[in-house]
Amino acid sequence: MEIIILPTAQDVGREAAGKFADVLRRTPAAVLGLATGSSPRATYEALASMVAAGTLDVSHASGFALDEYVGIALGHPESYASVIDREVVVPLGMDPSKVRVPDGRAADIAAACADYEAAISAAGGIDIQILGIGSNGHIGFNEPTSSFASRTRIKTLARQTLLDNARFFANPNDVPTHCLTQGLGTIMDARQLVLVAQGAGKAAAIAAMVEGPVRAFVPGSILQHHHNVSIIIDEEAASELTLTDYYRYTYNNKPAA
């Protein structure tokens, strides 16, 4: 794992955006894995600045969202379909027909999940996936005890996640109780992973994920088994790590590739 500790949330966004830009400049038709939530916003803003400046073209790329609430109206401002459209597709100038979000309104949920997995495979797999992390260690919506082998499926949100996500809804009781999420196995199949986190509220989850044992109770800890993963965090999110001197030295003295 590459652990990159930077002073501010904006620095985190710029660094993560740089990794996406590298992939997109090499492979304009890259397949992007997209996350919602507050964590990746600075990354999307940094990418949007490059697009606006004419130094990056995302129009040939395709995208797959990590997750979606079950039963939420497509046009609801907090459906992940709406969030991805508003925060990613429009500002990055992506082709909306090339961006998919799991169908949380499907009558046949199992079929919708199988179809989503098939679509990712048909696209050739995900080249680079951005991730946030929940305060309970979840990635996507893979809550504690999710199987490391899991694929896209329905999950029940943990109480902590319902509380954390209540801030996005007018009434806390409006937070949907279920979701569709790429599985941990799906996420691990991406060729490159970039996890971003900011703030003290993520410090315990980051420490458990990076320096703790690999265990299903901390879903993000499975990333320790990925061959190309960068954990890009600000000082506050890094505050419970123990080996920070080494991570800083490694980043500042990185051998040329």
By CB under 6 A, tell whether 102 contacts ligand GLP.
Answer: no
Per-residue mark of binding to ligand GLP, 160-189 (x: CB under 6 A): -x---x------------------------
Torsion angles phi and psi, residue 130, rounded to 5: -95, 145
Smaller CB distance to ligand GLP: residue 162 or 248?
162
How many of the chain's residues bind ligand GLP (CB under 6 A)?
Answer: 14
Calculate the alpha carbon distances from 140 to 52, 61, 107, 152, 180 in Å: 29, 21, 22, 10, 9
Please say which residue, 144 or 248, places its beta carbon nearer to ligand GLP.
Answer: 144
Other CB atoms within a 10 A radius of the CB of residue 247 amount to: 19
Residue 220 touches ligand GLP, criterion: CB under 6 A: no
Q: Between residues 38 and 59, which has the closer beta carbon with respect to ligand GLP?
A: 38
Picking from 236, 115, 91, the residue whose alpha carbon sits closest to that of residue 100 is 115
Of the candidate residues 8, 27, 38, 177, the single one contacting ligand GLP (CB under 6 A): 38
219: contact with ligand GLP by CB under 6 A: no
Q: How far is CA 168 from CA 51, 83, 144, 234, in A?
A: 27, 11, 22, 23
Q: Tokens representing 123?
A: 């696209």
Binding site for ligand GLP (CB under 6 A): 35-39, 66-67, 132-134, 140-141, 161, 165
